[in-house]
Amino acid sequence: MLQSFLSLRAQARSCTSLSRSHLRSLSSSAHLKMRVVPVPVRSDNYAYLLIDENTNKAAVVDPFDVSKVKAAAVKEGVELISLLTTHHHQDHSGGNNYLAKAYPTATIYGGSHKSPAVTDIVKDGDAFTVGNDIKVKCMATPCHTQDSICYYVEDATRNQRGVFTGDTLFVAGCGRFFEGTAEEMHKALSYLGTLPDDTTTYVGHEYTKGNLAFGAHVEPENPGFEPLKKLVENNEITAGKSTIADEKKWNVFMRLDSPEIQKAVGKTDIIQVMDELRNQKNNYRG
């Protein structure tokens, strides 16, 4: 009888132990998510690791400096399986050939073959996955270059979303119109503006301090600049700390209908406002 009791107690303890272990496993997996790691390269560029924690697989965005990107991947313990190129400019696609040699099985996405080593040309609306849970949607945003692609990423299972904008959208700014027009940039930023407001922005350069100064110069009464000032004061790296909703509040290039901005540029037609605003930013030395 005693032996039977001891046996039952041992089984109960075993079940309790297994139950606790199972709960710990569930708890651990519940925290797995899409994660983005900024990798500063050059003086002000950003590369990024886009990580699916469920599989420890990752894509890299614009890996100009492959040695830094590889070091970041090793630190994070992830396997690089793909490369997302936002446009063909050398400070963004300059690491493509090196990465292709270092990771010969990686898929390399881009908007044109002007970007080196591209294996898959993507166009507006194309989609693919990273790991198991990260869905990537390509958004064509021609202007800065004609092959500019922004990558909207979403882990719907955990309600996370972000967008890699290259040199189309910056925090409180936008790229120069090297291969396009004011109308194209307005269309591109309006397109990005259709994304959910809580979409985190991952931009191509750290230009936030200068963009804040210019924005406050042309729209000084905008209360949206107060949180942006705090962001700049408290963060050396502002990448990943802004959302589409924020940009609608403090990015003058997404606020072309503001009477204050229109007065500053002396125009009321939206496309003319964009064109003159970009001209003024190009020459701003404040």
Does 113 qualify as catalytic in the annotation? no
Does 92 qualify as catalytic in the annotation? yes
Q: Which candidate in 52, 62, 65, 91 is catalytic?
A: 91
Does 246 qualify as catalytic in the annotation? no
3-state helix, strand, coil in the chain (%, to 5): 40, 25, 35
Does 89 qualify as catalytic in the annotation? yes
Report which of 146, 179, 172, 181 is spatially closest to residue 272, judged by C-alpha positions: 181
**Which two structure tokens, joined as six digits, stand for 252?**
């003058």
Q: Which candidate in 92, 147, 186, 246 is catalytic?
A: 92
Q: Which candidate in 144, 147, 155, 275 is catalytic?
A: 144
Q: How far is CA 246 from the centre of its chain?
A: 14
Residue type present at position 55: T
Report which of 67, 56, 15, 10 is spatially closest to residue 33, judged by C-alpha positions: 56
Q: Which candidate in 167, 186, 246, 275 is catalytic?
A: 167
Compute φ and ψ for 86, nearest 5 degrees: -80, -30
Q: Which candidate in 147, 205, 246, 275 is catalytic?
A: 205
Does 205 qualify as catalytic in the annotation? yes
Does 186 qualify as catalytic in the annotation? no
Q: Which candidate in 52, 62, 65, 89 is catalytic?
A: 89
CA-to-CA dists, residue 182 to 128, 185, 189, angstroms: 30, 5, 11
Q: Which candidate in 52, 62, 87, 155 is catalytic?
A: 87
Positions marked active-site: 87, 89, 91-92, 144, 167, 205
